Structure 1
Amino acid sequence: MSLIIYAIPVFFALIFLELWFDHKRRNVTYSFNDAINSLNLGVMSQVTGIAYKTVQFSFYLLVFQYLAPLSLGVDSPWMWLFAFVAYDFCYYWYHRMSHEINVLWASHLVHHQSEEYNLTTALRQTSGSFFAFVFYLPLALIGIEPYVLLTVASLNLIYQFWVHTRHIDRMPRWYEALFVTPSNHRVHHAQNPIYINKNHGGVFIIWDRLFGTFQAELREEPVIFGVTKPLASWNPLWANIEMYWSLTRDAWCTRRWQDKLGIWFRPTGWRPVDARQRFPSKAKDPYQQVKFDTPLTGRQKAYAFFQHLTLVAIALYFLLTSASLSTVGIFTGSGIIIFCLFCLGYYQEQRRHYVWLEGFKNVLLAVTAVWVLPFASQVYALLWLLLASTLLLRGMQQRQAQCAGTTQPE
């Protein structure tokens, strides 16, 4: 079991602490819709990861069992330290290539789509990192046990959580020289030309210093977060497939077979000439950034937050019980959660007929709970459905009153 699952309560506690700092310092580093969307993408990543990460880990296990000349064991503290550093070295190259090759960027792009920068951004992860395992196979060849790999991978990701904040400025010089810090990771999330494709390390910044991809955060160049082609959506499914869709469209419409195949492995941003002419790029000047958002009333935000907490609870239950589920159960559960996340994003965008879609989703969740949970919990499922429906209708009424110019009091 990944350590990430057990770290989730700590993550949320730190997010609430950061929100308190926002309030105390009168900073605005959070946007409601953006934060919920980032958290939803994190939930979706954990749920979908059950299937494809199992397949990836199986490849690692096969290489370790049949190709590794020896095992480094699990007892030596020095072995654990070596594995931790070696994993981060492999992570650096995977992360760097994810910014330099189209097909890898299509997956990693999700983590950079947010136009804010806070601890929820750290949890904004892709649901389709299909090629990552290739970069870690050398660790199997040198004898790092699969159990050790899973542990150091979790610790690596947990470390990266805290650096996604604007509330910490510069660390001591010696620490900035060796480790990834909030300052140099803010650079990594910037769309300013001087900062693009810099600072790829996960824990250690020394790899960037050694291989020429380091850039310090400059006082005279404030960071502008996000990507040059904004997502402009709260749909977690679209966030994950947007770039794949663009690459597939360009590969389909371009005439040269070399380009149809080569576009996937060309440098990030490369497109065939005829595809660029037919579908001009929508990239925008980062210095003219207008952040995407959808206005929600207070009651609508309360409903969205209530639904988000519900889906977090369902996802945690699903993750903790997944080992006892059949393959059909895993795919069914994943599908229901992904559908619910899609519905919540649809609601945040206030798309047409969102009330009917939310109503259907709420009934689906209640029916599933009645079917899966023991009898004593079924009453709670029906009470949840009643509460969710009430909040949904109250939010709709407030929106209608607001549009009519007679907003009801909170």
Structure 2
Amino acid sequence: MPNAIVYAVPLFILLLVVEMLWGAWRHKQTFALSDTLSSISLGLSGQVVNLFVRVLNFGVYVLAYQYLALFELDTSQWWVWAIGLIGYDFCYYWHHRMGHEVNLLWASHVVHHSSEEYNYATAMRQTSTGFLSNWVFYWPLALIGIPPTVFVIAGAVVLGYQFWVHTRHVGSLGWFDRWFCSPSNHRVHHGQNAYCVDRNYAGVLMIWDRMFGTFAEERPESEEPIIYGIHGQLKTFDPLRANFHKYGDLYADFRLADNWKDRIKVWFARPGWRPAAAERLDPKKPYDIAEFRIYRPRISTATSIYCVLQMLLLMVLGLGLLAFAAQMPLTWKLLGAAWVLATVWIMGRTLENRPGHARWQWLWLFSLSVPALIVHQHWGLPPTWAALLALPLLGVLAFALLRAVRQLQPVEA
């Protein structure tokens, strides 16, 4: 049975295009091409990684349900579903909040906040390392007897709901903002302004933020426009660096710490805390939001067109991998995943105009033999047919790449 995300992604992309067209019509565009492609790349990367680790989160829940459940709840009762949805939303609040208040968890969640735009592409920007800690926060639902089916569907509802709130085109919704997570409330959450930091964690119900003192109301744009992104800009479209740069920073401080108390604390302290020895040996310049300049390297029109074509192909092949991975042998699944991750890494270099990216792109054209081989092995499509079908596509991509190489421009941060 195909992965459920295969059905959701086309809808997300459709909504993304609608938002883009709406912004163009209103002369208030909230998309930047490089950032959008980067966000989609990170979302696809996360889903590919989940092919191999999703069983961890669900498996832990099932084990907790089988051996720790205090009650047996019947899925035919409506109130079981109601408790499951509200309970999942409550657990999500604390999961999300700890993702901002604990260094190790922030190192994973920071990916979602690293975009300096705010739109439906930002909603797709997800971490690839969340599996390391996600399972910690939901087992209490198993303890009270919420069946795994209810747990899975409640999670899909709570997470799916949050897609639509990632937009700047929906203003205040009055009473709705008071009780539910809304675009206005969630814009605050993604801001790096002082009043926005560590606020509005709710997935669906804002009552949790109001109960636990983390709610903040959006201020008028004319008074204080929200600046999106993170303190200490990422300044890269490299998906590997986006996913692991905070882990690297924490490990560096761990090594610089001069006592074991600080070496342990560095992983569990609030983001921003550093051991005294690390501050002394490797001082960091204090972040000043007034110095913020959006990261948008300049690339040629030809390069932009090439990367869009590359992303369209990647989406088709990537979704194909997600849809049929359950039917594939592990070897072919690993090969397909490696190809997707290598592709988004190469695209990231191209979007930054990194030195030597053209050579990587030529290698990538040859690497299209990998998905062709997987298709041949899995469905028995004759190699000659695959080659004939691929030739027009390769010709278009090669032509676009040649044009892009001839129009190289220097990077501007």
TM-score normalised by the shorter chain: which range applies? over 0.9
One-letter amino acid of the counterpart of residue 292, structure 1: Y
Change in Cα spacing, 1:314 to 1:368, as seen in structure 2 (3 Å) is: closer
Separation in 2 of the partners of 1:2 and 1:217?
37
Query: Which aligned pairs between 1:4-15 and structure 2 lie closer than 5 A?
Result: 4-15=5-16
* Structure-2 residue corresponding to 1:384: 393
Separation in 2 of the partners of 1:303 and 1:398?
12
Change in Cα spacing, 1:119 to 1:368, as seen in structure 2 (3 Å) is: closer
* Structure-2 residue corresponding to 1:194: 195
1:306-355 residue CA offsets vs partner (Å, 9 max, x unmatched): 11111111111011111112333332221111111101101111111111
Instruction: Indicate the percent of aligned positions where both proteins have the same amino acid.
Output: 38
1:28-47 residue CA offsets vs partner (Å, 9 max, x unmatched): 31111111101111111111
Separation in 2 of the partners of 1:73 and 1:54?
24
* Structure-2 residue corresponding to 1:286: 289
Change in Cα spacing, 1:17 to 1:234, as seen in structure 2 (3 Å) is: same
* Structure-1 residue corresponding to 2:241: 238
Query: Which aligned pairs between 1:29-68 and structure 2 lie closer than 5 A?
Result: 29-68=30-69
Offset of 1:65 from its aligned partner? Answer: 1.2
* Structure-1 residue corresponding to 2:357: 354
Q: Helix, strand or coil: the match of 2:138?
A: helix
Q: Which moved more, 1:23-32 or 1:197-206?
A: 23-32
CA contact (8 A) 1:2 1:150 kept: no
Correspondence for 2:271 among 268, 272, 284: 268
CA contact (8 A) 1:224 1:287 kept: no
Offset of 1:61 from its aligned partner? Answer: 1.0
Offset of 1:294 from its aligned partner? Answer: 1.1
Separation in 1 of the partners of 2:298 and 2:316?
26
CA contact (8 A) 1:169 1:182 kept: yes
1:204-223 residue CA offsets vs partner (Å, 9 max, x unmatched): 11100011000000122221
CA contact (8 A) 1:3 1:151 kept: no
CA contact (8 A) 2:257 2:277 kept: yes
Change in Cα spacing, 1:170 to 1:67, as seen in structure 2 (3 Å) is: same
Change in Cα spacing, 1:145 to 1:289, as seen in structure 2 (3 Å) is: same
Q: Kindly indicate whether residue 159 of structure 2 is the aligned counterpart of residue 150 of structure 1.
A: no
CA contact (8 A) 2:199 2:215 kept: yes
Q: Kindly indicate whether residue 87 of structure 2 is the aligned counterpart of residue 86 of structure 1.
A: yes
* Structure-2 residue corresponding to 1:166: 168
Offset of 1:190 from its aligned partner? Answer: 0.5
CA contact (8 A) 1:363 1:385 kept: no
One-letter amino acid of the counterpart of residue 222, structure 1: P
One-letter amino acid of the counterpart of residue 240, structure 1: N
Separation in 1 of the partners of 2:310 and 2:259?
47
Query: Which aligned pairs between 1:10-409 and structure 2 lie closer than 5 A?
Result: 10-129=11-130, 130-173=132-175, 175-219=176-220, 220-282=223-285, 284-370=287-373, 372-373=375-376, 374-375=381-382, 376-399=385-408
Separation in 2 of the partners of 1:56 and 1:329?
24
TM-score (norm 2): 0.93
1:254-298 residue CA offsets vs partner (Å, 9 max, x unmatched): 211111122101111111112123323255322332001111111
One-letter amino acid of the counterpart of residue 345, structure 2: F
Separation in 2 of the partners of 1:256 and 1:363?
51
TM-score (norm 1): 0.94
List alignment gaps of at least 5 residues for structure 1.
404-410
1:169-195 residue CA offsets vs partner (Å, 9 max, x unmatched): 00132x111100000100000101111
Offset of 1:105 from its aligned partner? Answer: 0.2
Separation in 1 of the partners of 2:149 and 2:272?
37
List alignment gaps of at least 5 residues for structure 2.
none
CA contact (8 A) 2:3 2:323 kept: no
Separation in 2 of the partners of 1:390 and 1:272?
52
Q: Which moved more, 1:88-97 or 1:367-376?
A: 367-376
Separation in 1 of the partners of 2:406 and 2:193?
42
One-letter amino acid of the counterpart of residue 164, structure 2: W
Separation in 2 of the partners of 1:282 and 1:15?
37
